[in-house]
Amino acid sequence: MTSDGPRFDTRLDRFVDNYANRTRGMRVSAVRALFAVANRPEIVSLAGGMPNIKDLPLPDIADDLAQLVRDNGTQIMQYGSGQGEPRIREQILDVMALEGIEANADDVLITAGSQQALDLVSRIFLDPGDVVLAESPSYVGALGTFLSYEADVVHVPSDESGLDPQALHETATRLEADDRRIKFLYTIPNYNNPSGLTQPWERRIEVLRVCEQHGILVVEDNPYGLLSLDAEPIPAMRSAGADVIYLGSFSKTFAPGFRVGWALAPHAIREKLVLAQESATLCPPVFSQFAISNYLDKQDWKGQIGVYRDMYRERRDAMLAALEDFMPPGSTWTHPKGGFFVWVSMPEGVDSQSMMARGVDARVAFVPGGAFYADGQGARNVRLSYCFPTVENIRIGVERFADVLEGELDVLRTFGVHSPTPHPGRVAGPGPDLS
Amino acid sequence: MTIIVISGGLSHERDVSIRSGRRVSQALRDKGHDVVESDVNADLVALLGSVEDPVVIPMLHGGLGEDGAFSEVLGVLGVPFVGSRSGPARATFDKSIATTAVHAAGLAAPRQLALPHDIFRELGAQSIMTAIGEQLGYPLMVKPSRSGSALGATKVSSADELPGALVGAYAYGPMAVIEQFITGTEVAVTVLEDADGLRALPPVEIRPSSGVYDYEARYTAGATRFVTPAELPTAQLEAAKNLALAAHRVLGLRHLSRTDIIVDGDGTPWFIEGNVAPGMTETSLAPLAFEAAGLDLGDVFAGLVALAGRG
């Protein structure tokens, strides 16, 4: 007892000492909090990875869904198969055929978005300390999943054609010499998130060859493959390799709210994935599967992908033109041939994470590059997305971003800082709407 | 009367503000009050004009919320509000003004330099940084002059860390303060006004697991241990409370404030900074002080609304 009454001693979480080790990185961060501003209308957000679904034929889809509920309501609102409904698994074969994949519906597992497929793959393969190879840079949502299973993510350098096979060979050789267990290579060969880079066909074959040489399983994540903006899609790695888990999604080619993705896996792996899926969710969302199956049956889904491609092409071109017009000297950026993102490299010494605060003041949002690395790289990079803002706002946003960079460079010139203050631990990534 | 809780805004602390606003709104509803919640947007002025007898609780952190701009507008509109008026809020939010004012009143405050980025650019950064090191000595603290939640604040242990810390502070605004670092026990004292006048609530001692009470430590439940009242001798607790009351008066604050204090090894409490819109989130300090004082969050704000309504 004190003069102020009894003493309270609290950490505000009675169970703080009970959490698993894997939650250590799950903390509030200032960077993530700054993203809270991104959704305000005054802000031009070049941060979001949300697909732009404004051109979907919503009245037609609404009629189809109403009919579906009337005709099959008791089935589509019931539990379903742990592997996913047979009809949609057959239809997915048609989708994958567009990228050269021949497969059997028995080897397809439906998941709650391909993000859940990443989780299930990690669940069945990763023990703490296992190595996951990932290209530099790589998808923030995948890195978070691997780290939550306490894996050690090792980045493999990329060049202008994406993942570098020689660097992959050298990294694998070094890790093997250190007796490290490489569980799989995670790669996004089409229009990488965040870099926008695409592996040419020959590069894919070479990557597969190196993986075969080292006995490395490949996890090919392909959410953007059908959103090619300049040419027809390049065949998937899975079309040329057996030891590949292929992850697909309807989030970008239709709509993300249904949360339907899939994994195509070699038979033995698929069996374990189904058991893991049943353990996680009993079954993937049945209503969503039927809704998408219905959409594929009744709507011109290939035509809709064409609509998306035209829209994203216009936006991509607007962003590249604005970067050309506004960016200060010393910066470079990728020229994506599909997907949603441009990866900007800024002069040495720039800290994109500390630029976030300037961005809020300048009314522009972007994602600092460090989010796409598990090892502290990426300070002088940002990811800019062109998928959601209008052409006009893309230009305004890039101009504001260029001003933010000018401000940062001005301060750096004053203080002569050539290497950013290291940020402890992994840089926090954006939330789901921005991934 | 209609209670309107305003949170959000476009500041760096939008996320914290929204959480504070929700919590206060719910606490008031739990006590039977009708509450309208709103962000700061183009519809807000119309909203204020459309309801009967509005009383505003600005739960805005950083930027236009804490710097007096929003309360200035409320004053122009003639809408009563909880919290400090614009002039005192502006002075308190700006660390370069608040610390000087508190020091001038004879209260213990760290030696401080306030410098805009421009002066380093025009006079040459290296010579000024050398002089700063000689004047204040290391370690020292570098902070944005107008920001909260420890955003952009860095402890600097040696000269080679100073440029990076200044770059980090200037990311949050054109003016930075560089202060003598005070070593000791970190406490926060909430000052609350009620019908009987001002009173200082039990000091909350802050013990971050990481050793630094940064943004993560502030808003991650479990990352910081809070002891209320602080484990300090009674005389030091009283001295900390008196400092907070004195700072509240010197700065001309109203209704509610929180003063961040470090009690040094000699037992002297030092003013570190004042807050005109203390956080009310699940991990914030003022609600812990309310709890220790036996006060309910909803009752506290209902009382403040009544005070504000009386003008």
Residue B20 appears among annotated catalytic residues: no
Residues of chain A in contact with residue B188, where contact means CB-CB under 8 angstroms, are none
Compare CB distances from B215 to A30, A354, A361 and report the shortest one's residue.
A30
**Residues in Cβ contact with B279 at an 8 Å cutoff, skipping those fewer than 6 apart:** B16, B20, B61, B149, B218, B285, B286
Same structural domain, B99 and B245: yes
State ipTM: 0.86
Asked if B201 and B192 touch (Cβ cutoff 8 Å), the reply is yes
Q: Give residue-wise pLDDT tens across range A309-331.
A: 999 999 999 999 999 999 999 99
Provide the pLDDT for residue B170. 94
Q: Which one of the listed residues B37, B149, B179, B186 is annotated catalytic? A: B149
Of the candidates B7, B11, B13, B20, the residue annotated as catalytic is B13
DSSP-derived secondary structure letter, A5: B
Is the domain of B153 the same as that of B198? no
Q: How far apart are CA B274 and CA B148, in angstroms?
A: 10
Q: Under an 8 A CB cutoff, do B293 and A37 touch?
A: no
Within a domain: residue B153? yes
Contact (CB, 8 A) for A256 and A51: yes
- Determine the residue of chain A that is closest to B123 in CA distance: A414
CA–CA separation, B184 and B263 (whole Å): 5
Report the percentage of chain B scoring pLDDT > 90.
Answer: 82
Do B104 and B223 lie in a common domain?
yes
Q: Are residues B95 and B237 in the same domain?
A: yes
Tell me which chain B residues have a C-beta less than 8 angstroms from the C-beta of A417.
Answer: 163-164, 167
**In CATH, what number is assigned to the domain containing residue B290?**
3.30.470.20
Kindly report the average pLDDT of chain A as a whole number: 92
State the pLDDT at residue A22.
82
Distance separating alpha carbons of residues A247 and A119, to the nearest angstrom: 12
Residue B268 lies in a domain: yes
Domain residues for the domain of B23 are: 2-83
pLDDT of residue A40: 85
Position B68 in a domain: yes
pLDDT higher than 70, residue A413: yes
Token representation of residue A34: 């700054």
Region A111-140 average pLDDT: 96
Average of per-residue pLDDT across B5-22: 91
Q: Do A28 and B227 touch (CB under 8 A)?
A: no
pLDDT at site A427: 47
Residue B285 lies in a domain: yes
List chain B residues with CB under 8 Å of A358. Answer: 171
Is B260 flagged in the annotation as binding?
Answer: yes
The CATH number of whichever domain residue B46 belongs to comes to 3.40.50.20
Average pLDDT over residues A9-16: 87
Would residue B17 show up in a list of annotated catalytic residues for this protein? no
Q: Say yes or no: B152 and B55 in one domain.
A: no
Same domain flag for B233 and B274:
yes
A42:B10 CB<8 A: yes
Asked if B152's CB is within 8 angstroms of A11's CB, the reply is no
Minimal Cβ distance to A355: which of B18, B171, B228: B171
Q: Alpha-carbon torsion A316, A317, A319, A323, what sign? A: positive
Q: Shortest Cα distance from B105 to chain A (angstroms)?
A: 27
Number of folded domains that form chain B: 3
Which domains does chain A possess?
23-55+303-414 (3.90.1150.10), 78-298 (3.40.640.10)
Tokens of B29: 């509803």
pLDDT of residue B307: 95
| pTM for this model (two decimals) | 0.91
Considering the domain architecture, whether residues B159 and B196 belong to the same structural domain is answered as no
| CB contact (8 A) between residue B221 and residue A11 | yes
Ranges of beta strands (E only) in A275-366 are 332-333, 341-345, 364-365
- Contact at CB, A28 and B167, closer than 8 angstroms: no
Residue A64 pLDDT level (bands cut at 50, 70, 90): very high
Residues B41 and B168 in one domain: no
Q: Which residue bears the tokens 């013990």?
A: B207
- In the predicted structure, residue A175 carries a pLDDT above the cut 90: yes
Is B271 within a domain?
yes
Per-residue model confidence as pLDDT tens digits over B106-122: 999 999 999 999 999 89
In a domain, B158, yes or no: yes
Same domain for B94 and B78: no
Chain A residues inside the 8 Å CB shell of B286? none
Residue A374 and residue A143 in contact, taking contact as beta carbons nearer than 8 Å: yes
B229, B237 contact by CB (below 8 A): yes
* Residue A12 in contact with partner chain B when CB distance is under 8 A: yes
Average pLDDT over residues B212-224: 85
pLDDT tens for A214-262 read: 999 999 999 999 999 998 889 999 999 889 999 999 999 999 999 999 9
Is residue B284 part of the annotated active site? The answer reads: yes
A421 in B contact zone (CB under 8 Å): yes
* B226-284: pLDDT as tens digits: 999 999 999 999 999 999 999 999 999 999 999 999 999 999 999 999 999 999 999 99
Residue of B164, B229, B231 with shortest CB distance to A417: B164
Give yes or no: residues B97 and B208 share one domain: yes
> Is B273 annotated for ligand binding?
yes
Question: With bands split at pLDDT 50, 70 and 90, how would you rate the model's confidence at A424?
Answer: very low
Q: Are B236 and B99 members of one domain?
A: yes
In a domain, B72, yes or no: yes
Residues B219 and B95 occupy one common structural domain? yes
Q: Which residue has the higher pLDDT, A13 or A198?
A: A198
**A5 band by pLDDT with thresholds 50, 70 and 90:** confident
Residue B311: the pLDDT is 64
> Does residue B160 sit within a domain?
yes
Check residue A425 and give its pLDDT.
Answer: 46
